[in-house]
């Protein structure tokens, strides 16, 4: 009987934590362009303490072909921790302008894959409670 009661209590305790949103996180979305074109990029927001040291789990996203991104800590927690962050952006690919050639000489032809990053940038941003939007306009 005691084992059943213990099992029931543990099960209920675990279930109450499931599906609950982390209140220390705020929604973060935005877009990235590189040299005026939408960019596919890895975006990382690393929370920092007041002394500038890493202070929590990094939120990440990969932007879509149109440059838009939405951060998440993991599969069930969208957003980033409220507070100051070190932002790292790794540009992987930029969209080809509509009037550019699509032949094999084109560096960004649809069949070509790029290895590594075109550009890596580190910035600082503050995430506020609620909804945050960041627009990163990067150049060489």
Distance CA 92, CA 114 (A): 7
What is the CB neighbour count within 10 angstroms for residue 23? 8
pLDDT band at 140 (very low <50, low <70, confident <90, very high): confident
Quick check: 86 and 48 in contact, CB under 8 A? yes
CATH code for the domain of 112: 2.60.40.10
> Average pLDDT, stretch 3-19?
48
Q: Which of 109, 110, 108 is nearest to 118 (CA)?
A: 108
Phi and psi angles of residue 88, each rounded to the nearest 5 degrees, phi first: -115, 130
Q: Is the pLDDT of residue 66 over 50?
A: yes
* Residue-range definition of the domain harbouring residue 59: 2-138
Distance CA 56, CA 66 (A): 29
pLDDT band at 95 (very low <50, low <70, confident <90, very high): confident
Q: What is the pLDDT of residue 3?
A: 54
pLDDT in tens, 21-56: 567 999 999 999 999 999 999 999 999 999 999 999
Domain count, the chain: 1
Which token pair is 98?
Answer: 């509509």
pTM: 0.73
Report the mean per-residue pLDDT for the chain: 81
pLDDT band at 101 (very low <50, low <70, confident <90, very high): low
Q: How open is the CA angle 27-73-34, to the nearest 5 degrees?
A: 70
DSSP assignment letter at 35:
T
E strands, the chain, are: 25-34, 37-47, 59-62, 68-70, 72-74, 77-78, 80-81, 83-94, 119-127, 131-138
């Amino acid at each position: 009987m005691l084992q059943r009661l213990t099992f029931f209590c543990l099960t209920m305790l675990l279930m109450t934590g499931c599906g609950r949103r982390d209140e220390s996180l705020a929604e973060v979305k935005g877009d990235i362009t590189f040299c005026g074109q939408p960019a596919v990029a890895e975006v990382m927001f690393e929370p920092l303490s007041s002394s500038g040291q890493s202070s929590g789990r990094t939120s990440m996203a990969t932007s879509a072909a149109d440059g838009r991104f939405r951060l998440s800590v993991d599969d069930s927690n969208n957003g980033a921790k409220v507070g100051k962050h070190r932002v790292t952006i790794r540009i992987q690919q930029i969209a080809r302008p509509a009037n550019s050639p699509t032949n094999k000489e084109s560096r960004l032809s649809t069949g070509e894959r790029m290895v590594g990053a075109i550009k890596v940038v580190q910035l600082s941003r503050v995430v506020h409670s609620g909804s945050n939007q960041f627009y990163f306009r990067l150049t060489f």
